[in-house]
Amino acid sequence: MQSQLPLYPEQASNFAPHVDSLMLFIIAVCLFFAVGITIAVVFLFFKYQRKTAGEIGVPIHGDMRLEISWIVIPFFLLMAMFGWGASIYIDYRHTPSGTLDIYVVGKQWMWRLQQPDGRREINELHVPVNRNIRLVMASEDVIHDFYVPAFRVKMDVVPGHYNTMWFRPTKPGRYHFFCSQYCGTSHAIMGGWVTVMEQDEYAAWLAGTSGTSDPVALGAKLYNELACSTCHQPDGKGRGPSYNGVYGAKVKLADGSTILADDAYIRESILQPTAKIVAGYQPVMPSFQGLVSEEQILALTAYIKAQKDEPVPGKPGAGEPATGKK
Amino acid sequence: MSGTTNPGGENQLPREHYLNATYGIRSWLLTTDHKRIALLYLASVTFFFFIGGIFATLIRIHLLTPAGYLVTPETYNKLFTMHGVAMIFFFLIPSIPAVLGNFLIPIMIGAKDLAFPKINLLSWYIYLVGGSFVLYSFATGGLDTGWTFYTPLSSIYSNSAVTPAVIGIFINGFSSILTGLNFLVTVHTMRAPGMTWFRLPLFVWAHYATSLIMILGTPVVAITLLLAGLERMFHLGFFNPAMGGDPILFQHLFWFYSHPAVYIMILPAMGVISEIIPTFARKPIFGYSFIAASSIGIAVIGFIVWAHHMFVTGQATYAAIAFSFLSYLVAIPSAVKVFNWTSTLYKGANSFETPMLYALGFIGLFLIGGLTGLFLACLGTDIHIHDTYFVVAHFHYIMVGGAVMGYVGGLHFWWPKMTGRLYPEFLARIAAVTLFVGFNLTFFPQFVLGYLGSPRRYHSYPPEFQVLNVLSTAGASILALGYLLPMVYLVWSMRYGKVAGANPWPSTGLEWKVASPPITENFHETPVVDWEPYDFVHRPDLGLSGSKLPPGKLAPAHGDD
């Protein structure tokens, strides 16, 4: 978030204060022993330093009272940590009723998150503040892990298992989430942001009326958020055709026919991308059915329409084989 | 066995010893002398340490900038995987047992060799074969699964050379098993007259406990990795849910060995420290029987804590609670050792030659490493710091700060015995301090990184974590210097070092009664042990006079513990 060095992560969930207090308790115990033993070692070492070359130490073989006390006292301290930790864990594993359920699917290397009303997001999660949220998580391939440091919670996302995790966000804001179980090449970028919103803002966001009202600007935002930009690059060198100059033009398709790029064609291309493939490109685009609302499709269309007057890049010509694509 | 001087005189090596008994490459490659095999291991584990060290260096350079400075994500993933595999399976696990244990255990208990000298040589060859498979994997595509080989990433999805690596580690397991077996049989059957169980050096006790783990644990990891390999090669469904398997099963099997394996790495180092401290404090170790029993305790409890690596896999809440409880129990024997080492300094005649610096450094680093384990054994805090840099820092404190400090300290302590010569003391002290400082600077910032939520195994990271990463890299460069120095002066000393004599420190163990370097058979005649371990008072042969005790108040020769 900011690039200066933070001292502790933000506390933004019901668990965070508890985990932090327990951390402080263990740190205190550890400091006591670490400092105590270090002082003892340094003090004893120098106090009983060898004075003459042939000197030997006093033969002391041990002391039963000491042995028992340094077994028993640490034992009780350890049990305090254990008990405190277990109570937090039991709370964290025991989901209360009446949660807002979010369905989370991890796959190499992205997160798909779905709101209860079916609205889907990629690498973004919007949740209301002060509501108990439950994540129901599944993996499509390897083991991932959904980790929100500001909430102090994480849970593995295991193929073949449904794992659940709950938390109650306590502070509006944007917080990093990470994949924290190593999952292959792009593990490090398999993350995103949790946006904690006030409850009414969340409701507005769910209804799709939040934010900007200019459809072109909204479309431009979606173009980046939905990662259209990774394939549909303006210079036409991506895996999908450029939007430049497309709207209202005749587009040559892979089967040799041509079609007018109008609103209906664009809508169909977003929802059923494989229905009509532009000549020179492969049918690799996933369907966005359920991922975008009708309103968002309109915004995307408006954005594509706005690129009408941009220079049309050189693209793989109609009928020519595509180059550099598998 | 003539006291503290070598038969050849004060300033030259003995006329005949294990190094000059025979010559030629065959005399080394076909040797059954445990001391020569120890040196063969020394060369091979140093080689793997070097390889692992190069990977570590590249990792630290790469992490200088948030976006990653040096290599592609794929290469980065391979670097940390290969760093882990080389260091854990081919350096840390064999280092102290196969080098120092091999060299010292027979001499410490008064035997001429291990129980099965040929099997000892076989262990080394098995290690080489296993190592070759792993090097082949590194050279042909590398390995990007993480050293933990979690399925189904390793068994299905990885595009790297997993199969040869898995085969290599499987093969290498037998080397470990045979070494452990050899040690156990040797300690049981070949102790010299008078060398009772409670006169055994604590180094031997530590290796006894280590051997138990090697024998009982290694077969499990070998089979587990083989199953992952079979799933990969022949698509037999063990762990892949798409074929009816369960990826969590792999983790249970893997950690059933790999957690105890941590104790394979640290217990021998604790054994080394238990030898060094009484030698330089010149007094019996405090609580001998508690230290010996704690080694066995760690080995036994260490077998039932494995699922603390899996608190966030979705395992049953009650299972997690049980494993957290047991993990806290295993902290106690480790703490007992630290308390006893510290108490040994009380009323000692302490001096800080290089091995003692390593021992004190070990206590400091192991203390931090052990105490930070309490955060990870704790269910409430583990859900936050699990799989972050906190874990990386914790286990490097145990493995590098503990095991490697123990190993390097032990090398310095017994170097005069192994080579007959002393290293330059001043340089060695500088290296020890450099290692300690460099180590802390490298790994302490990673605790903070982890608490702030920086996940491990990331080739790029959010910019707010850069300061701590740069500190860590700076520390690593100091650390590297601390490792290079001993490599140089130890090799130099083999030829030019001052002649050490049989017992330069002096110390009380049987190994210090034989010449340096020892003859091939170790002893001219079987020794009879009639003294208690670490007893300086009743040992006129050590040439020490000035007891701190007033005359007439000597402790009984046979201590009551």
Predicted pLDDT of residue A206: 87
Burial of B117 (0-12, 13-18, 19+ CB in 10 A): middle
Select the residue of B246, B247, B381 nearest A23 (Cβ to Cβ): B381
Residue contacts between A and B (CB atoms, under 8 Å) = 309
Taking CB atoms and an 8 Å cutoff, what residues of chain B touch A90? 317, 321
**CATH fold match for the domains A10-40+67-210 and A215-306:** no
pLDDT tens, position by position, for chain B (561 residues)?
434 444 444 578 898 999 999 999 999 999 999 999 999 999 999 999 999 999 999 999 999 999 988 999 999 999 999 999 999 999 999 999 999 999 999 999 999 999 999 999 999 999 999 999 999 999 998 999 999 999 899 999 999 999 999 999 999 999 999 999 999 999 999 999 999 999 999 999 999 999 999 999 999 999 999 999 999 999 888 999 888 889 999 999 999 999 999 999 999 999 999 999 999 999 999 999 999 999 999 999 999 999 999 999 999 999 999 999 999 999 999 999 999 999 999 999 999 899 999 999 999 999 999 999 999 999 999 999 999 999 999 999 999 999 999 999 999 999 999 999 999 999 999 999 999 999 999 999 999 999 999 999 999 999 989 999 999 999 999 999 999 999 999 999 999 999 999 999 999 999 999 999 999 999 999 999 999 999 998 888 888 876 555 444 444 444 444
Q: From the CA of B274, how many Å to the nearest CA of chain A?
A: 14
Which of A71, A89, A95, A104 to probe by mutation at the B interface, max B CB count within 10 Å?
Answer: A89
Check A59 against B549: CB less than 8 A apart: yes
Query: The domain B25-542 is classified under which CATH number: 3.40.50.2300, 3.40.47.10, 3.10.20.90, 1.20.210.10?
Result: 1.20.210.10
Residues 90-119 of B with CB under 8 A from A: none
Residue A124 CB-half CA count within 13 A:
15
Predicted pLDDT of residue A324: 38
| DSSP code for B96 | I
Q: What is the DSSP string of B495-506?
A: HHSEE--S-SS-
User: What stretches in chain A show pLDDT beneath 50?
Assistant: 1-3, 315-326
Which residue type does B53 have?
A: G
**Tens digits of per-residue pLDDT, A94-153?**
999 999 999 999 999 999 998 988 788 899 999 999 999 999 999 999 999 999 999 999
Q: Report, at the CATH architecture level, how domain A215-306 is classified.
A: Orthogonal Bundle (1.10)
Q: Cα(B345)–Cα(A38) distance, rounded to whole angstroms?
A: 12
Q: Where are the domains of chain B?
A: 25-542
Closest-approach residue (CA) in chain A for B370: A30
Select the residue of B345, B375, B555 nearest A44 (Cβ to Cβ): B345
Predicted pLDDT of residue A38: 95
CA torsion through residues B112, B273, B309, A95, sign: positive
In chain A, what is the straight-line distance between the N-terminal and C-terminal CA atoms, in Å?
A: 38
Structure tokens given for B365? 């680093």
Residues 61-90 of A with CB under 8 A from B: 61-63, 66-67, 70-71, 74-75, 78-79, 81-82, 84-90
CA torsion through residues A97, A103, A105, A110, sign: negative
Select the residue of B338, B352, B379 nearest A85 (Cβ to Cβ): B379
Structure tokens given for B17? 């010893």
Which residue type does A10 have?
A: E
Tokens 């209906």 belong to A264
Check A141 against B157: CB less than 8 A apart: yes
Contact B517, B14 (CB under 8 A): yes
| Helix (H), strand (E) at residue A112 | strand A110-114
| DSSP code for B284 | P
Collapsed DSSP state (helix, strand, coil) of residue B9: coil
Taking CB atoms and an 8 Å cutoff, what residues of chain A touch B245? 160
The pTM score is: 0.85
Query: B471-503 in b/e burial notation, b at 16+ Cβ within 10 A?
Result: bbbbbbebbbebbebbeebbeebeeebebbbbb
Predicted pLDDT of residue A209: 58
Predicted pLDDT of residue B4: 43
Predicted pLDDT of residue A1: 41
Contact B358, B432 (CB under 8 A): yes
Q: Where are the domains of chain A?
A: 10-40+67-210, 215-306
Burial of A46 (0-12, 13-18, 19+ CB in 10 A): exposed
Burial of B244 (0-12, 13-18, 19+ CB in 10 A): exposed
Predicted pLDDT of residue A5: 59
Query: The domain A10-40+67-210 is classified under which CATH number: 3.40.50.1700, 3.30.450.30, 2.60.40.420, 2.60.40.10?
Result: 2.60.40.420
Check B548 against A58: CB less than 8 A apart: yes
Predicted pLDDT of residue A9: 87
Check B467 against A186: CB less than 8 A apart: no
Predicted pLDDT of residue A239: 82
